[in-house]
Structure formats: structure tokens, C-alpha cells
Homo-oligomer: A and B are copies of this chain.
Amino acid sequence: MTVTYSLNVSKARLLGFAKLLFRWRGSIYKLLYREMAIFCGLYYSLSALYRYVLKESQRTVFEKLALYCEAFTNLIPLSFVLGFYVSIVVSRWWDQFTSLPWPDKPCMLISAYVHGRDERGRLIRRTLARYLSLLSVLSFQAVSTAVKKRFPTLDHVEEAGLMTKEERTVYEEISVVHGKWWIPAQWFTALATRARKEGRIKDDVLLSDLLNELHIFRGNCGMLFSFDWISIPLVYTQVVTLAIYTYFMASVMGRQYLNPDKGYPGYEVDLYIPIFTVLQFFFYMGWLKVAEQLINPFGEDDDDFELNWCLDRNLVISFLIVDEMCQRHPRLVKDQYWD
């Protein structure tokens, strides 16, 4: 589930954001400690090589290489390309969240427009609501690894009560080579049309309203599908990744301790721990990790949206709305400001 910290920063107070630095779940440390370990391993290996292994003449070569690498690290405008790239990723991430389909409105409209307190009335309403859940589970399967794990086959969908045996047969009989997740939307359309014919929906304007709501729901499912299908062009991601990785490959060499006696400018201090290089690593790599975490928000990161939770919530709520709470409201009494 997403990592929420809004309440902790509800007031801009002393060191407000600073306190967020001491979190682990979803944090930069959790995401980066492995890369960090590799980086430090490389750094100290090279350092040991220089200090203890190499002969003097070899050291001179090492030093020249280090200076050359250091010079390179200024040639790539990392912050620029990262800034633009992460902007795109963040706005896609939020668009994906706002594309999540919620059944609240369509279900409330079903409960308002599809009349009939008899069993058939209930059956129609519950089936319409279920079709929405079915529609979302079928589309989420393609989008989210977590949903795919939970519902690897149609058997699991049927078992979970989202699809009846009959529906499954019909579904499987339809043979198209292209994706079939939209089929429950067509069933919904057909069932709503039937309800209109039976007079359970009183007016064509309400039917039209209901179908529009269905298509907003279906459109959102399709949008999630599209976000998954149309990734940010691979070449853009590669450009950014290549830039960062070569930067740090140059940096692991270029920020080495060099014998201060040789007086290379910027190499006067022997720090043992290259503290600022490490911080820089956290900074740039962390920025890249923002992109890595958000590029597929339906995965299994700490900060990803849990579609399985959504599916559960939506099924429960939608049955509640169209059935138990259908056209029922508390008895009307005068409120305390009456007159």
C-alpha cells in the first residue's frame, strides 16, 4: 500500500521534513542500500588497490585515470535530464491513480434507477454491480502482477464469485484474438437494455445516464490498460539510466583518494569515508529510484497502489449499495435547526 505521511507534515514546523528522514518503509535507504553496498565495495577495492597493490609507476597511471574520470563527471547534466524525466513519470503516476475505476457512482445510479423490490429486481441490480467488478478484475489482471498472482486463471475468478459458471462458458465461447476484458461491459449494456424494456428503468434518459456511467468505468479500465501497454519510450529510460550509471562509474574512480603529497587540486584531504560522494550517490540515485518506483504503480513496491485491496473493497461496497441499502434511507425527522 502507499506510504502516507500527510498527517506528519500537516504543519510546517521546526525541521518538519527532516523527521521524514528517519523512516524505513518506502524510504530512500530501503530502496538504495543494495546499490550503495555495491558502490562502496567497488570504491574500497579500488582504494585498496591504489594504496597497497600498485607500484609507483602504476599509481601515476591510476592518478591520471582518476583525474580524467573526475573531469568527465562534469560533462553530463544529470540533474537536467533527471528533472525532466521524473516530471513525466510523476505526472503519469498521478494520472494512473486518477484513472482507477470506482464503482460508487454507477452502483448508486443502479440502485436509484433500476426499480423492483422483487427477487428479479435484486438479481438484475446485483448482476449489474457484479459485472463492474468482473470488468475491473479482467483488466487489472493485465496491469498488475499482484492481481495476476491472485487470479492467475479464470478458475480463480469464478471461485471468487465474480463470475458464474454460465458466464464463464459464454465468455470462453467468444473467440477473438484480441483482448476480451471488455465483454462484461457489453453484458451490462444488454442487461440494462433489458431492464428498460421490462419497465424497471422508467425513462430512456436514465438508461442513457447509466450507460454513460458504465463507459466512464470501462474507459478507466482501458486507460489503466493503456498506461501499462504504452510505456515511456524505452530509449528515454535508457538514456537516463545510462547517464546515471556512467556518472557513478566515472565517479567511483574519480573521487578516489590520491596521494595528497602530489598536490592534485581537490585531492588534498584523505577522508577514508568519501562522505560527500556517498551523499551525492543518495541524491542522484534516489532521484532515479523515484522514477523506478513510480513507473509501474501497480507493482509490489511499498508505495504502489494495491489493486487487490481495491477489488475487495469495490465488490463489498457495490453489493451493499445496490442491494442492502437500495432505496433505503433513515426515517426523516426534523433537524435541530428546524425553525
Interface residue? A193 (CB, 8 A): yes
Task: Check A262 for interface membership: any CB of B closer than 8 A.
Answer: no
The segment out of A40-48, A49-57, A327-335 that lies at the interface is A327-335
| Interface pair B192/A283, CB less than 8 Å apart | no
Copies in the complex: 5
Residues of the B chain whose Cβ atoms lie less than 8 Å from the Cβ of A145 = 7, 10-11
Interface string of A167-203 (1 = CB under 8 A from B): 1011000101010001101110111111000000011
Q: Determine the main DSSP class of A at the interface with B.
A: helix
When the two chains form their complex, are residues A325 and B6 in contact, meaning their CB atoms are under 8 A apart?
Answer: no
* Number of A interface residues in the complex (CB < 8 A): 163
| Residue of B whose beta carbon sits closest to that of A65 | B269
CA of A189 to CA of B31, assembled, Å:
46
- Measured CB to CB, the closest approach of chain B to A299, in angstroms, equals 3
Q: How far is the CB of A52 from chain B (nearest CB, A)?
A: 24
Within 8 Å CB of A324, what residues of B? Answer: 174
Asked if B127 and A230 sit within 8 Å, CB to CB, the answer is: no
- Do A194 and B283 have beta carbons less than 8 Å apart? no
Residue of B whose beta carbon sits closest to that of A291: B17
Interface residues in A100-120 by Cβ distance below 8 A to B read 102, 104-105, 108-109, 111-112, 120
A176-B317, A193-B327 known; 9 new pairs, CB 8 Å cut-off, are: A5-B231, A20-B241, A64-B269, A81-B283, A104-B222, A111-B190, A169-B330, A233-B294, A239-B282
